[in-house]
Amino acid sequence: MEAIHLGLIGYGEVGGIFCEGLSPQVASVRAWDIKLADPVLAAPLHERARQDGVALCASAAELCAASNLLISAVTASNEVAVAREAALHLRPGTFYLDLNSASPGAKREAAALVESAGGHYVEAGVMTSVPPYGIRVPMLLGGPHAEPLARQLSALGMDAKPISTELGIASAIKMCRSVMIKGLEALVIESYTAARAYGVEDYVLPTLQETFPAIDWTEQGRYFYSRVVQHGRRRAEEMREVANTVREAGFESWMSAATAEKQDWVAQLAAQGLFDGIKKGDSWQTYADRLIAHVEKPGLQSVD
């Protein structure tokens, strides 16, 4: 098998995890991120790259010239744009693994760009949060080139399962799952915060526990608040793609669109510092109290 020269498009949380996890097993690892063009935003990326032994590239052209396996790990809104940029520079025969949470329509558009340049596009539906799984995160692969790439990725220790030669199937599975998972996050935040505002959480949560005894609703609530506060903007982008997925199937996407708005609302408040000082492991009530105080005495810019 040809030596793998890995190129990561996007050196954020997910891209960094894949760089770190795959670095010992491939011939080389490089990454490119649009943040590298900004000296302030680039500084922490350079520091992490030094720690991980990753070579950072100044452009997509430089990355593509040195890579025979590209992994796209960017925000959903940049899905097609980065595929278009990569298509201008990638070497024919390069595998292009698309990890992004985008609709089947967006995946097919990205695939057309990559394939027209002689690349081998493979979509991936990443089926749960990458931490704490790392490169072992379960993912479903789709497209005509899914099976040969899955064999290569499995040899690297990844949990990659080819499920269809048809593009869009893997992303449809991921997106339909997100209707539930990200929707439940938004529902929990809305329900718990309102219950605490009324002083009735000690009545509401036990009824949830009785109805769904397999879930620890207190701990699940803490986890949901923390993840949305930390990654709400990315989740909101994903849910807009989920809404597109629902519409592509011919249905109105009321629930998914509302979930995106809720996630984005929390993310904007987080960016303004509403949750500063909350420590890892703090209770869901700590987050809810900040939201309640903001509503009662708004001290931050309105994000309605």
pLDDT in tens, 253-290: 999 999 999 999 999 999 999 999 999 999 999 999 99
Residue 66 placed within a domain: yes
Q: What is the CATH number of the domain that holds 58?
A: 3.40.50.720
Reference 99, options 66, 129, 122; nearest CA is 122
In the chain, pLDDT over 70 holds for what percent of residues? 97
Q: Are residues 148 and 216 in the same domain?
A: no
Q: Report pLDDT for 30.
A: 97
Q: Are residues 45 and 136 in the same domain?
A: yes
Cis (ω within 30 of 0) for the bond into 39? no
DSSP H helices, the chain, are 13-22, 39-52, 60-65, 79-87, 104-116, 130-133, 146-155, 169-198, 201-211, 217-248, 254-271, 284-296
Domain that holds residue 250: 171-296
Q: Which of 166, 187, 215 is the last residue of a domain?
A: 166
Q: Report pLDDT for 52.
A: 87
Q: Which of 166, 199, 229 is the last residue of a domain?
A: 166
- Within a 10 A sphere around the Cβ of 142, how many other Cβ atoms? 27
Q: Hey, which residues does 90 pair with through a beta bridge?
A: none
Q: Report pLDDT for 267.
A: 97
Q: Report pLDDT for 299.
A: 62
Q: Are residues 103 and 21 in the same domain?
A: yes
pLDDT in tens, 72-84: 999 888 999 999 9
Q: Report pLDDT for 300.
A: 61
* pLDDT mean across residues, the chain: 95
Q: Residue 69: helix, strand or coil by DSSP?
A: strand
pLDDT in tens, 201-211: 999 999 999 99
Q: How far apart are CA 153 and CA 207, in angstroms?
A: 44
How far apart, in Å, do the first and last CA atoms of the chain sit? Answer: 54
Asked whether the beta carbons of 185 and 235 are under 8 A apart, the reply is: yes
Q: Is 207 exposed, middle or buried (0-12, 13-18, 19+ CB in 10 A)?
A: exposed
Task: Give the chain's residues under pLDDT 70.
Answer: 1, 299-304
